[in-house]
Structure 1
Amino acid sequence: MRMIKDMKKKFRLNMLGLVETKKHVVTRFDVSRFWGNDSFGWEYVESDGASGGLLLMWDEMSFRMNNCYKGERWLCVEGIILKNNFNCAFFLIYGAHTREEKLVVWEELSYTAGLCQVPCCFMGDFNEIAHVEERKGNVNLSISAEEFKNWIQDMHLVDLPLNDRKFTWFRGRSCSRIDRVLVSLEWVEEFPEIRLRGGPRGLSDYCPMIVEDTSLRWGPRPFRNLDSWFTHEGFLRMVKEEWRGLGNIQFTEKLKALTAPLGRWHRDKFGDMDKKSLKFEEEIKKIDNMASNGVYDGTVEARRKALVTCCKKWYVRKELYWKQMSRSRLAKDMDKNTRYFHNVASTRRRNNRIDALVINEKLVRNQARIKIAIREFYKKLYYQEEAPIVGFRDGLVNIIDTEDAVALEVLPSTEEIKDAVWDCESSRAPGSDGYNMNFIKK
């Protein structure tokens, strides 16, 4: 109980699940001792004698329960996250031990998720691995593990990566990752910065799983030009005016100076594309309601056509944006589904993030120290030592003839430079300056 209160104080828990409570009855007094105040809701599954038992608690100021479903080894609470009015369902699971019992649990969870018809979050002790490396000394997956893996794929769930540790259960020399959190694609779309990490194990065989939705900023956001900008009628005109105003300075310095006006222009014209497209959708809906009530003339029809045209523009811009963010080759072969690009980009960002780093045989999570360590590592890696001066007369380099020497010193022509630039793929990832080849070609 002491550890639970410390975790609640440190991580500001909105929901807390306990697995294997070993309690046949859970009272409000019991939950209040765990939670620390009276603003809570809870549901539980009783234990079977001295084994099992589930308890799910939540802050009633953050989550409102609508329905509750229970099984022998799982507990489901369906409701609304009040902060963003997000309908969802939380499942707390204590996995079975035999293959036959596990199949029953997977089937019950699938059926209950179908009843809820909302994005789901499955968390707890699944008592099964999904990959070979998740159990120490394991060389292949058992049949039940393959069935668990197939269940995850059939349910279209995202297995949140655990970045700060490899295993979650320890007993003697045995180590496994049998505790995990699985979420629907809609969940990742709603909370793109969601991440999973392990808490302190203490005297327990298990590590607590901590799910956080954090939009941490690891420093200033780097500049990146967007291909969707070119769909705006006034973009190129604005760039030309800003470019002339920068005068005759070096080309790379001009590009660097251009990032500030481009950022301001983006915020004014492209800030929050979702709200802009939603605004046009609402206006179109109003006109549709007018038509349903018999109010429809030439003026109304012309306005609807104009709104549809504007709405289409924002759909195209959002699609270009997520296609560029995903940088996925599959984009050419799949239907243009914004959710797909959103999930690919979010997953890449989550997987590329460095939450912890081993420095001098110590695990460090402080972001400032991690940045310094990475910078120093590459400074040493690319440090150039003094090399002896080697001349042509030392016999290491053959002297070329005059014609080849002159050809090497000739500056490339404008046509050659343009051909080289236009030969590059436009949608490739931008360089350190934030500009991709599409911007340069324009």
Structure 2
Amino acid sequence: MAILQQQNEEIAQKRILAKQKAKARQSRPKTQKKDYVESFGSSGGLLLIRDDEFFKIRNSYKGERWLCVEGVIMKNNYNCAFILVYGALDRNEKLVMWEELCYIAGLCQVSCCFMGDFNEFVQVAERRGTDRLTPSAEEFKSWVHDMGLVDLPITDRKFTWFRGRSCSRIDRALVSVEWLEEFSETRLRGVPRGLSDHCPIIVEDKRIRDGPRPFRSLDSWFTHDGFLRMVKEEWRGLGGVQFTDKLKTLTIPLGRWHKANFGHMDKKILKFEEEIKKIDDMVGEGIYDGTVEARRRALIACCEKWYVKKELHWKQMSRSRHVRDIDKNTRYFHNLASTRRRNNRIDALVINGRLIWNQAWIKIAIRNFYKDLYHQEEAPMVGFRDGLVEMIDEEDALALEMQPTTEEVREKVWDCESTKAFGSDWHNMNFIKKCWDEIVLSS
């Protein structure tokens, strides 16, 4: 009986332990899963940890030095693929890996994000002590170009790998153009490397609140039939205010008008496209008459106008002067504008030996730097000795004091390049030229 009682107690204890383990498993996140490629020796090995609530996997592919998971980002239902890479050291092995990655990207047929240690650099400045690219670096650079990938710049450091005196940037993230169209704020930053010889890198899509955007007059406004009439009415309503003050004040009603007439441009285009599809479905089912055809033509005409407005907008944002307007290059202009914005943004700045991320502090530091740079302690005393400067005659003096005529001002304005503006928060010269009759002649 004692032995039987002891066995029953052991069974009860095992059941209790089993229940505790089951509860521990239930308390862990069920959505977290892993994919990996085993290491060989003391190097290699890839581990990808994902959350099914964020990224739902559809397919998984593995190679000796890469790991690809293809699926959908649940937040916006976006199809894409994440590819982790651990680059080879041997040149021939690298060529094989580039071919494999090219094949797997073609197999997925979705936007791709390549991340990891590529063991290669693409610019001379990315490896200290080097004055030229190696043959394998040239091949890697050509592969990136042929794949149509964008090498994300790292914002807070120059190198990502250190060993002795050697340092280089071999850890990177490469994304497709389609990826940047969906996640335009994608950036790459590094974190302290600790005991490792590699700096961990973080790819993030996070909009930085860097204050209000500067005002810009947009060329696409002039495609709206009522724009010039609105400008004329607002200009007259400002009364006898000084010309430059009028231009500055005009930015407020222009901002409201833009939001009402040009806001959510993509949604408006999508709405027209959906309406056109409905008409096409009706025609496909045999429902067709003069009214249906008239509505389809009207929808196509409206949709085309919005295509033009969108292309003009992104052409101006890209500051491209090499392609004509209305030339079916909206995507090209959008990518140029996104690249400019990404490259011009200062995400972090070293101030007094400290790395600062706060955008307000960065702005203050930059303003104070240039304020001190161009500050003049004393005004130089400039004098003229008697007889050094000759007195001009009365006719020339009167000519210098005469106010310029409207025709002379117009001539100088038309000599200015249309994209130029008086400042970063002002109207460009194209706005002045096209609104000349409404705002200048009426002043």
Question: What's the TM-score once normalised by structure 1's chain length?
Answer: 0.89
Instruction: Please name the residue that 2:236 is paired with.
Output: 244
Q: Tell me: CA distance 1:334–1:98, structure 2 relative to 1, closer, same or farther (3 Å).
A: farther
* Segment of structure 1 superposing worse, 344-353 or 322-331: 322-331
Q: Aligned partners of 1:356, 1:112: CA distance in 2, in Å?
A: 35
| Contact kept in structure 2, 1:357 and 1:370, CA below 8 Å | yes
| Contact kept in structure 1, 2:88 and 2:118, CA below 8 Å | yes
Instruction: Please name the residue that 1:22 is paired with.
Output: none
Q: Tell me: CA distance 1:222–1:433, structure 2 relative to 1, closer, same or farther (3 Å).
A: closer
Deviations 1:351-402 (A, max 9, x none): 1111222333443332222111111122223324443554555555333233
Q: Aligned partners of 2:388, 2:32: CA distance in 1, in Å?
A: 80
Q: Which amino acid aligns with 2:150?
A: V
Question: Of 355, 360, 375, which residue of structure 2 is paired with 1:368?
Answer: 360
Q: Which amino acid aligns with 1:357?
A: L
Q: Aligned partners of 1:117, 1:298: CA distance in 2, in Å?
A: 41
Q: Aligned partners of 1:67, 1:217: CA distance in 2, in Å?
A: 36
Question: What's the TM-score once normalised by structure 2's chain length?
Answer: 0.88
| Contact kept in structure 2, 1:224 and 1:430, CA below 8 Å | no
> What secondary structure sits across from 1:329 in the alignment?
coil
Cα RMSD after superposing both structures: 2.1
2:269 equivalent to 1:277? yes
Deviations 1:133-186 (A, max 9, x none): 111111111111111111001101000001210110111111011100000000
2:379 equivalent to 1:387? yes
Instruction: Please name the residue that 2:181 is paired with.
Output: 189
Instruction: Please name the residue that 2:11 is paired with.
Output: none
2:75 equivalent to 1:83? yes
Question: Of 247, 268, 280, which residue of structure 1 is paired with 2:260?
Answer: 268
Q: Aligned partners of 2:249, 2:134: CA distance in 1, in Å?
A: 59
| Contact kept in structure 2, 1:64 and 1:81, CA below 8 Å | yes
2:71 equivalent to 1:51? no
- Superposed, which structure 2 residues align to 1:9-158 within 5 Å? 37-158=29-150
| Contact kept in structure 2, 1:67 and 1:77, CA below 8 Å | yes
2:158 equivalent to 1:166? yes
Identity across matched positions, percent: 72
| Contact kept in structure 2, 1:64 and 1:82, CA below 8 Å | yes
- Superposed, which structure 2 residues align to 1:419-430 within 5 Å? 419-428=411-420
Question: Of 260, 280, 294, which residue of structure 2 is paired with 1:288?
Answer: 280
**Deviation (angstroms), 1:218:** 0.6
Instruction: Please name the residue that 2:8 is paired with.
Output: none
Instruction: Please name the residue that 2:224 is paired with.
Output: 232
* Segment of structure 1 superposing worse, 357-366 or 139-148: 357-366
* Segment of structure 1 superposing worse, 214-223 or 318-327: 214-223
Gaps of 5+ in 2: 1-20, 436-443
Instruction: Please name the residue that 1:13 is paired with.
Output: none
Q: Which amino acid aligns with 1:113?
A: A
Number of aligned residue pairs: 411
Q: Tell me: CA distance 1:286–1:99, structure 2 relative to 1, closer, same or farther (3 Å).
A: same
- Superposed, which structure 2 residues align to 1:305-324 within 5 Å? 305-324=297-316
Q: Tell me: CA distance 1:410–1:283, structure 2 relative to 1, closer, same or farther (3 Å).
A: same
2:431 equivalent to 1:439? yes
Q: Aligned partners of 1:204, 1:394: CA distance in 2, in Å?
A: 74
Q: Highest Rg: 1 or 2?
A: 2
Q: Aligned partners of 1:312, 1:274: CA distance in 2, in Å?
A: 13
Q: Tell me: CA distance 1:151–1:333, structure 2 relative to 1, closer, same or farther (3 Å).
A: farther
| Contact kept in structure 1, 2:149 and 2:174, CA below 8 Å | yes
Question: Of 345, 350, 354, which residue of structure 1 is paired with 2:346?
Answer: 354
Higher relative contact order (CA 8 A, sep 6+): 2
Q: Aligned partners of 2:337, 2:148: CA distance in 1, in Å?
A: 17
Q: Aligned partners of 1:427, 1:373: CA distance in 2, in Å?
A: 29
Gaps of 5+ in 1: 1-28
